[in-house]
Amino acid sequence: MSQLITILNGPNLNLLGLREPELYGTDTLDDVAAQCQSVAKDLGLSTELKQTNHEGEMVDWIQACREHSAGIIINPAAWSHTSVAVLDALNTFDGPVIEVHISNIYAREAFRHHSFVSTRANGIVAGCGVQGYCLAVQRIHTLLS
Ligand code: DQA
């Protein structure tokens, strides 16, 4: 069976495609899921994509990855800048973690320049649009190989 990569998305990303399209583009999370699945399949991996607006649910999902996922791709959205709980949960996971931001957080407001998650991430993709998720799948493949 192929190794599973879990792609986790934080608050407000359920509105991807509708929300501030000038910053985040017009692709939806379903589009992202399909693009990642296609890239992953070519690499012999499989993907599941999830989104939540609830921090505790995100922590539960990260903990569950210990049981069934080889790697995590996470766009923590606003929790990047606020959540020690999400960071602590990621620190319980042994596999590779790639942090994705659709926009270039370093070209935006100062409060977006710090991410708690970055201290755990094996790599960070920011400002590449939704293509960043596919780049993260490729990177996880390299890290698992
Ligand atoms: C984001 C950047 C965050 O600062 C913001 O809170 C988001 C999305 C991005 O993908 O660019 O919700 O993570």
pLDDT, one tens digit per residue, over 82-109 is: 999 999 999 999 999 999 999 999 999 9
CA atoms within 13 A on the CB side of 122: 17
CA of 75 to the centre of ligand 1 (A): 7
Protein residue with least CA distance to atom 1, ligand 1 = 77
SS3 (DSSP) at 95:
coil
Query: Of ligand 1's atoms, which has the minimum distance to the CA of residue 100?
Result: 10
Q: Is 133 a catalytic residue?
A: no
pTM for this structure?
0.97
Q: Is the Cβ atom of 51 under 6 angstroms away from ligand 1?
A: no
CA of 1 to the centre of ligand 1 (A): 33
- Give me 7's structure tokens: 């792609």
Residue 1: pLDDT above 80? no
Query: Of ligand 1's atoms, which has the minimum distance to the CA of residue 127?
Result: 11
The pLDDT of residue 58 is 98
Q: Show me where the domains of the chain are located.
A: 3-144
CA 70 to chain centre: 14
CB 5 within 8 A of CB 47: yes
Cα 89 from Cα 75, distance rounded (Å): 14
The pLDDT of residue 119 is 98
What mean pLDDT is predicted for residues 29-46? 98
Work out the widest C-alpha separation in the chain, in whole angstroms: 44
Q: How does residue 2 score in pLDDT terms, banded at 50, 70 and 90?
A: confident
Classify domain 3-144 by CATH architecture. Answer: 3-Layer(aba) Sandwich (3.40)
Quick one: angle between helices 131-144 and 29-42, nearest 10?
30
Residue 45 exposed, middle or buried by CB count within 10 Å (0-12, 13-18, 19+): buried
Q: Is 113 a catalytic residue?
A: no
What mean pLDDT is predicted for residues 118-122? 98
What mean pLDDT is predicted for residues 31-51? 98
